[in-house]
Structure 1
């Protein structure tokens, strides 16, 4: 939480400070969200309550639809994008829903809040030959770090998992006989994700020659390790991906999430149905997965425009 947010929180009236603390505890203990997600929600709600206090509101039930609309409008006048406004509206609705259910408000005023939809931008994806060049960039490495980097690249592209899910894997989360990973995703939801033979070969080399060379007393059960033997940090995994992508001719500048986008797009182009891709990626809503159909359609249109004689 930034200094500005911390200062704004400290200046809130006591009743608003109290409900904010209750909401934060609700996010952690009942919704079981990650610390990153909790911080994001709390930061947005601090901004909302700070706005309410500046309007003279000191109690939770002083938060009404006019205050919500005023807060969003103020953000737009200071340059907030449609995506940011949509995120703020979602945070506000989550908060007002909790206020009502927890008995701090007589009604859920956020139910009547309408906000602009964020523009869905199509993610950059690698072409199949670019993806091959990226994941094979560490092939043939013999030193422990190179063996680990090969596993990072192979597993991210093979499985489409998030980088946070990758670095969170333990050794016993890998079922090598069935070639599947047990992944703990958003909201601590567990899912099983398959991976292919190239990733299995990279895993074998890492587990037999790489990990033992880096393992230390505090390695614990972590599958992937950093140079000092501790669980691999997500930032290091991102640096690995960016370096590999930078070396691939013509590849767009993407990170681990770009490999995830690429994997989903290539699986769809290979004939997989949308529901299967939703399960693979761990999306709670099919609507989130549907952006990949737009990616494949745009690629199809580009091919058509280039190849069809009457395009």
Structure 2
């Protein structure tokens, strides 16, 4: 990856985001597995062509700093800290991952995250939950009885003023959440991991333009909506998920011809704002064809 410095930020900031990384053939990390297969393949193929400005990587520095401080703490005799695991799969493929902390006494994998308050407000933990489940699955493969995941989220945009107002707003800038995993979930994630590696193996043989699109969930897709608009008014009267629901609302309220239905196209938030290989992605290019 090429790191640019559009705003001429100080060299120490540049140095903080510079890192040497070489992809290992047939070895994928847990974080890579959690991305769409298309994105993962393209990131490997175009690693030397990807450009990102240091100004867009500030929160990466923040997250690295948090981990750096926590790495200095002394774990107990029952704990493993910042350990890398590599699990061998079929056909020479390997899954690698680095968890922040494992407590063998409680069977808990803990991962520290820097996150937005919205993670808490929208109860948006599926991606982090799946990550700790995979770490537990990996630990079980090498003989540990891991069965519990925990996230300690550092809320980078927490507001004490909003916290004092009560409601669902988190009261503190740190938010822990944990899950107990079942045997059924371990069976399901085992199947998902093997299916994912089969897909990666197939996609490695494809050209860029033949790669399958990431799923709507992987694209962070927001569905189309249908807004009932009134002439002379900027905001929608009501917004519906389907055109039929919007039309039914107009009919039921017997609204006049000053009202109309406007389709609001859904967006793929990760594709638009967080994917550094979208210019090579066939799905993205088809959506943004000139």
Common fold by TM > 0.5: no
Give the helix-richer structure, 1 or 2: 1
Tell me which interval the TM-score lies in, with the shorter structure as reference length.
Answer: under 0.3
Give the strand-richer structure, 1 or 2: 2
Query: How does the TM-score come out when normalised to structure 2?
Result: 0.26
